[in-house]
Structure 1
């Protein structure tokens, strides 16, 4: 009988999980801008609170002011990126002709060793110029066909405004959803989720700035064109954990291959970005973020893969903040605590155990003295 009950519970959990995943997939057009708006609301909330407390702005004016500043910064960043990309595209013919020359040289070397069949000039898919122009044309198609991106640019600010304006109203709603829970308990969870999101965002932007400077200095030392643009563009791609900076290294490596006399410059570019990635993953991010976003690397990679399968690139950006928030909820839900333990850093648990052990010893010493 007990075995049957357990089987029913497992089957019910599996069906519920499949249903949740299906709903998340079907509602991605609604959920993605909503979640992005929540995260951005956390980012601008300190500014809103400053305007309300120090400058005595009302809630509407402070939310609109913060939204205007955020929109201005976003516009400036995207304008700069688009301007630089346009400059890059204007020189694409020069880059393509240079890469075709390199391609022909590689063919000659292959012919010397009777390997010319591997790089047939009749294979149009291997024509560098065709590849570049095809990819550049796809950029325009992506922009024109992705109407959802344009709609999100209008929806996200609206969501942010109402999240900031009705924040106390939403907290009261959560109290009513969980009437059996103490309000102090709910406030604790909400504060921890807010703190982990704020720490993640603050740490992320700090890391992006440091990585952007290191990338730019490396490219400047190698003499690559537009070093600060390519350096900070790769840093911006840190929004996609683990693989973002590797993707960002391909573009300057391509420019190095097209503009420098030796292909070793392209190898050096990838080497610089790989070294910066090593520093970021092992020293910069752990030092800045610390244990505030305590999600272990293995779970981070799994979350990255699963969310990318679910929501594409947007899922890769949202994977870590969502997983960090889920950990807090799991840690404060009795039957989900094992999953919170699985998501967390093993080192954190070890340190926590040591701290509890030291506290127990200290209490025993104090009791003996008394």
Structure 2
């Protein structure tokens, strides 16, 4: 049988990408809960195996980790509800502080422009009316969104239970897709995928914990109000690569401005966040997750943006582990190895424009590991 032309192969690959993207966009409400359940079930597999090792019945060994997960999520919900109730109690003071900040901002705008206080007030009133009318139209779809959220959360435990219960069927289905000669590589890919997802998700839980402690504790030392709330919000949003940290900074500043009329608390929040982020990016996180997932920053940002446009917040959170799984698969297939190179962060030690050997699919020395490669060659 004649080999398929290279242009046809590449056309089929691009067509597959377009088809996959279309499926994700059209069926995001169905696919996202399944993907979320898949990643969470892998996280719960060690607990399931531990219970099975001690002869716990299979059904109970599946239900127990799901109950632990529900309790954990319930505790997070309880914490946020308690913090929000504190904010509600402080609403009169918050309203007074916001009024003072708006007055100071209005005076500053008047000093640098020709807009008087009355013109600014008229402008704000007009925009407030527009915002209220927009909120009224958006509220009509709030019930649908809320019901979709309840369906999403309600289906997760069911999906997780069934994935753990039928995991052997799913594994056999995967193996039957490939020739017997390829089964060892498929087995290695499954083990590495499980290891990457498990280490990544556990690493994120550890990251949320230490960032909440460092950031919340640091802000509490300086007497910042709602320090723990700012710490938890920033720690959770920081899970969204690059974009989440920016949103977390904005929310931290806004919460601080509503509880204080001075600027030094805002500067304190920004400085503490910067210090904690420096420790997280350069010392703590690389030791926990950085060595497990090697995705370049460009692909990570694009993944977050595309995931958010397809499935909202859940798509942003799932983008990184999904890209990591795809990289594991691509790296183990000769046909798609170039896509694994595109997703990774291993830059060639020399330009492929000047070295023909670096244009091939075979492994090449990379800039970060060039010295190690030379040492191995000497040995």
**What is the CA distance between 1:150 and its match in structure 2?**
0.1
Partners of 2:94 and 2:131 in 1: CA distance: 12
SS of the counterpart of 1:182? helix
1:120 matched to 2:137: no
How is 1:81-230 mapped onto 2 (pairs within 5 angstroms)? Answer: 81-117=80-116, 120-124=120-124, 142=142, 145-230=145-230
**What is the CA distance between 1:144 and its match in structure 2?**
6.7
Partners of 1:12 and 1:98 in 2: CA distance: 59
Partners of 1:241 and 1:286 in 2: CA distance: 14
Hey, what does 2:259 align to over in structure 1? 259
Cα displacement string for residues 231-257 of structure 1 (whole angstroms, at most 9, x for unaligned residues): 122112223122223322333322322
Contact 2:51 2:61 in 1 (8 A): yes
Give TM-score scaled by structure 2 length.
0.84
User: RMSD value over aligned CA atoms?
Assistant: 3.1
Partners of 2:139 and 2:239 in 1: CA distance: 20
Hey, what does 1:275 align to over in structure 2? 275
Of residues 296-305 and 6-15 in structure 1, the stretch that sits farther from structure 2 once superposed is 6-15
Distance change in 2, residues 1:125/1:306 (3 Å): farther
Hey, what does 1:37 align to over in structure 2? 37
Partners of 1:166 and 1:329 in 2: CA distance: 22
Hey, what does 2:350 align to over in structure 1? none
Contact 1:100 1:129 in 2 (8 A): no
**What is the CA distance between 1:130 and its match in structure 2?**
10
Hey, what does 1:22 align to over in structure 2? 22
Contact 2:308 2:314 in 1 (8 A): yes
Partners of 1:32 and 1:268 in 2: CA distance: 38
Partners of 1:131 and 1:253 in 2: CA distance: 22
Distance change in 2, residues 1:31/1:75 (3 Å): same
Cα displacement string for residues 126-156 of structure 1 (whole angstroms, at most 9, x for unaligned residues): 8899989x98x98997477421110111111
Distance change in 2, residues 1:24/1:261 (3 Å): closer
**What is the CA distance between 1:16 and its match in structure 2?**
2.9
Partners of 1:345 and 1:107 in 2: CA distance: 47
**What is the CA distance between 1:71 and its match in structure 2?**
0.8
Hey, what does 1:366 align to over in structure 2? none
Contact 1:238 1:245 in 2 (8 A): yes
1:68 matched to 2:79: no
How is 1:343-354 mapped onto 2 (pairs within 5 angstroms)? Answer: 343-346=343-346, 349-350=366-367, 354=371
Distance change in 2, residues 1:43/1:8 (3 Å): closer
Structure 1 unaligned segments of length 5 or more: list them: 363-370
Cα displacement string for residues 153-211 of structure 1 (whole angstroms, at most 9, x for unaligned residues): 11110111111111122111111122344332211100000010011012111122121
**What is the CA distance between 1:343 and its match in structure 2?**
1.6
Contact 1:48 1:66 in 2 (8 A): yes
Structure 1 runs (4+) greater than 6 angstroms displaced = 126-132, 137-141
Contact 1:96 1:129 in 2 (8 A): no
Structure 2 unaligned segments of length 5 or more: list them: 348-364
Matched residue count: 358
Partners of 1:303 and 1:251 in 2: CA distance: 23
Give TM-score scaled by structure 1 length.
0.86
**What is the CA distance between 1:360 and its match in structure 2?**
3.7
